[in-house]
Amino acid sequence: MTDAQSFYGRWAQVYDWVANAPGVASWRDRAADSLALAPGDTVVEMGCGTGANVPRLRERVAPAGRVVGIDVTQKMLDRARERSARTGESVHYVQADAARPPIREADAVLATFVAGIFEDPAAAVDAWCDSVGTGGRVALLNFQRSPSVLAAPLNLVFEGFVRLSAPGTRLSTRSHASAFERRVRAARDRLTERTVDRRYETMAGGFAGLLSGTVP
Ligand SMILES: C[S@@+](CC[C@H](N)C(=O)[O-])C[C@H]1O[C@@H](n2cnc3c(N)ncnc32)[C@H](O)[C@@H]1O
* Residues 179-210 pLDDT 10s: 888 999 999 999 999 999 999 999 988 889 99
Helix (H, G, I), strand (E, B) or coil at 143: strand
Higher pLDDT, 174 or 180: 180
The pLDDT value recorded for residue 143 is 87
pLDDT of 174 > 90? The answer is no
d(CA 176, CA 162): 7
Give the number of other CB atoms < 10 A from CB of residue 100.
11
Mean pLDDT of 165-178: 64
CA-to-CA distance for 127 and 212, rounded, in angstroms? 15
Neighbours of 33 (CB within 10 A): 15
When the pLDDT of each residue in the chain is averaged and rounded to a whole number, the result is 89
Query: Quick one: pLDDT at residue 185?
Result: 95
Q: Where are any strands of DSSP class E within 22-146?
A: 42-46, 66-71, 91-95, 106-112, 132-143
Q: Which CATH class is domain 3-214?
A: alpha beta
For residue 148, how far is its CA from the centre of ligand 1 (angstroms)? 28
For 42-100, what is each residue's pLDDT tens digit?
A: 999 999 999 999 999 999 999 999 999 999 999 999 999 999 889 999 999 999 999 99
pLDDT in tens, 113-132: 999 889 999 999 999 999 99
Residue type at position 129: C
Strands 91-95 and 106-112: unpaired
Phi, psi of 69 (to 5 degrees): -105, 120
Residue 54 CB partners (closer than 8 Å, separation 6+): 45, 48, 67, 69, 80, 85, 86, 87, 91
35: pLDDT strictly greater than 90 = yes
Judge whether residue 150 has pLDDT over 70. no
Residue 171 has pLDDT above 60, yes or no: no
Q: Please name the residue whose Cα sits nearest to atom 13 of ligand 1.
A: 47
Query: Is ligand 1 within 6 A of the CB of residue 91?
Result: no
Span from the CA of 87 to the centroid of ligand 1 (angstroms): 18
Is any atom of ligand 1 closer than 6 Å to the C-beta of 55? Answer: no
